[in-house]
Chain A
């Protein structure tokens, strides 16, 4: 049973560019949440997708957008990259089922984004 998989594992971009990160949820899960983890900090919630729609959003600008596909996989897009966007981006999946949706999170290993 594959867990949460993310690609790529590492990425280097320059300021002003755009980036797309990908996530495949754990088998049987239908909800995907994205987090940003800056160096030495805890993960910060970006947004959550269910039924191909953004359901919840954290305090992130519109440069951060996402998508969920019919097979539940998801993409995170960041436009007009800033140096401060350098971080580990984590995808977490869960099954939408009452409290479990936001509590039983399974995380991928993340994509390390470096903006130069």
Chain B
């Protein structure tokens, strides 16, 4: 079945640093790919998505490109802020079932 593997956290960065969170996937076909974010005490929110190979999803300064060749969907941001501190989840659908999530990567940004 479809699955995702995320880099282990936690990740601690200084404000304005560059962020990369790695995500690789295993899938049948070419499903849409997603990044969700979970702020402290809240549920998950969709951050961005890409629906086909070479698509770039972007939102709030975050970007991720659907790489078919490397089966990857790495999340990047050029300059992180303290308010970006959260847990980030890579996800994809599995057949007719709802999204399958990775284990999550906790990001802490310090001023």
Which A residues lie at the B interface, using CB under 8 A? 4, 33, 40-45, 48, 56, 58, 90, 92, 94, 99, 101-105, 107-110
Is B61's beta carbon under 8 Å from chain A?
A: no
Looking at chain B's contact residues, is the secondary structure mostly helix, strand, loop, or mixed? strand
| Interface size of B in residues (CB-CB distance below 8 Å) | 21
- Chain B residues engaging chain A, CB cutoff 8 angstroms: 32, 34, 41-46, 49, 89, 91, 93, 96-104
In the assembled complex, which residues on chain B have CB atoms less than 8 Å from the CB atom of A56?
96-98
User: Complex: how many Å from CA A99 to CA B92?
Assistant: 12
A-B pairs with lowest CB-CB distance, top 5: A107-B43, A42-B101, A102-B98, A107-B44, A109-B43
Docked pose: A97 CA to B103 CA in angstroms: 28
The residues of A that contact B97 with a CB separation of less than 8 Å are 45, 48, 56, 58, 102
A42, B46: Cβ atoms closer than 8 Å: no
**By the criterion CB–CB under 8 Å, are A105 and B103 in contact?**
no
Q: For A42, list chain B residues within 8 Å (CB).
A: 89, 91, 101-104
- The minimal Cβ–Cβ distance linking A43 to chain B, given in whole angstroms, is 5
Q: Is there contact, CB below 8 Å, between A43 and B34?
A: no
Measured CB to CB, the nearest residue on chain A to B44 is A107
